[in-house]
Amino acid sequence: MIPRKQLVVNADDFGFTPDVNAGIVEAHRDGILTATTLMANGEAFADAVRLARQTPSLDIGCHLVLIGGRSLVTGKAFPATAPQLVVALATGRLRVYDELAAQLRRMVDAGLRPSHLDTHKHTHLAPPVLDAVARLAEEFDVRWVRRPFDFPLNSLRGGVPRMKRLTSHALGLLRRRFHRVLARHGCRTTDHFAGFQITGRFRTAELVELMSLIPGGSTELMVHPGRCGPELRAARTRLKESREAELAALTAPEVRAAMLRHAIELVNYAGLEL
């Protein structure tokens, strides 16, 4: 029997800026986006909570942050880059569990029940961060954690940049320990994942083509839609105009038609088969 194709379309960075928040809600209401993850230390956290309450069909998770922004525990700036984070972890300058617990607690205290967890810049691939995330998932009774290992996308229109392919392959070397740690804490992942190699690079045509590559089983597609208004333009991020392009793709009728053509069932985390 061919397994069903279930697709969760999840937007990162809810709570980053109000214009990003608006784009995420638009992609859900008018497009194929089913879930998002909230940055509890984001400048637009309160706006995101308000929108989440107004949009109960939008599945909400937590986008745990250790790079960029400020700590909810100390008020100090987090490391700005991945290499700086590695140094902070190696020297014990960052209280990873306490930082991430504070972010989850802020969500819960705001009346939101996270259904899934992921991390900004995929920092839970680092062993000390993964250990904290898995422990917190168990403690907060969050069933799902992102597996940030892309399935092969070499045949996608225009290909994937060589460095992105090599980085994705290198991350895959961490897969065995990653799943072992999550299993120990009773965490689940989707069967497949896509989005790392095409972040900031896809338009409607690429998303239509991607639908033909979705494998059987459950898949999470990571996206970054948004409106590129003044708040986002002033923010420190490389993803600006590309968020508008992703929003257009996620709401394009051609993409819905491609999903029907390839028998893809659009779900959120609550609707995934267990």
Dihedral angle sign, alpha carbons of residues 194, 200, 201, 203: positive
* Least confident residue range of 40-44, 95-99, 155-159, 166-170: 166-170
* Residues 252, 253, 256: CA angle, nearest 5 degrees: 100
Cβ atoms of residues 25 and 58 within 8 Å: yes
pLDDT digits (tens, 9 = 90+) for 38-73: 999 999 999 999 999 999 999 999 999 999 999 999
Q: How many CB atoms lie within 10 A of CB 189?
A: 20
For the residues 260-267, what does the mean pLDDT come to? 96
pLDDT, tens only, 201-258: 889 999 999 999 999 999 999 999 999 888 888 888 888 888 999 999 999 999 999 9
Residue 154 has pLDDT above 70, yes or no: no
Q: Does the pLDDT value for residue 274 go beyond 80? A: no
Q: Residue 164 pLDDT > 60, yes or no?
A: no
Q: Is it the case that residue 168 has pLDDT exceeding 60?
A: no
Cβ atoms of residues 67 and 121 within 8 Å: yes
**SS3 label, residue 119:** strand
d(CA 84, CA 185): 28
Q: Could you please report the per-residue DSSP string of 8-21?
A: EEEEEEETS-HHHH
The larger pLDDT score, comparing residue 101 to residue 272, is at 101
Query: Given this model, what pLDDT does residue 166 score?
Result: 46
The residue written with tokens 């819905």 in the block is 256
Q: Where are the alpha helices (DSSP H) in 153-222?
A: 162-172, 175-184, 204-211
Q: Considering the chain, what percentage of its residues have pLDDT values greater than 70?
A: 91
pTM for the model stands at 0.91
pLDDT in tens, 103-116: 999 999 999 999 99
* Mean pLDDT, the chain, whole residue set: 91
pLDDT in tens, 96-145: 999 999 999 999 999 999 999 999 999 999 999 999 999 999 999 999 99
Average pLDDT over residues 26-36: 98
Name the pLDDT band for 167 (thresholds 50, 70, 90).
low
HSE, CB side, 13 Å, CA atoms: give it for residue 153. Answer: 32
CA–CA distance, 204 with 172 (Å, rounded to integer): 27
* Distance, CA of 257 to CA of 179 (rounded, Å): 34
Pairing of strands 144-145, 217-223: unpaired
Per residue in 173-211, pLDDT (tens digit) is 678 899 999 999 999 999 999 988 888 888 999 999 999
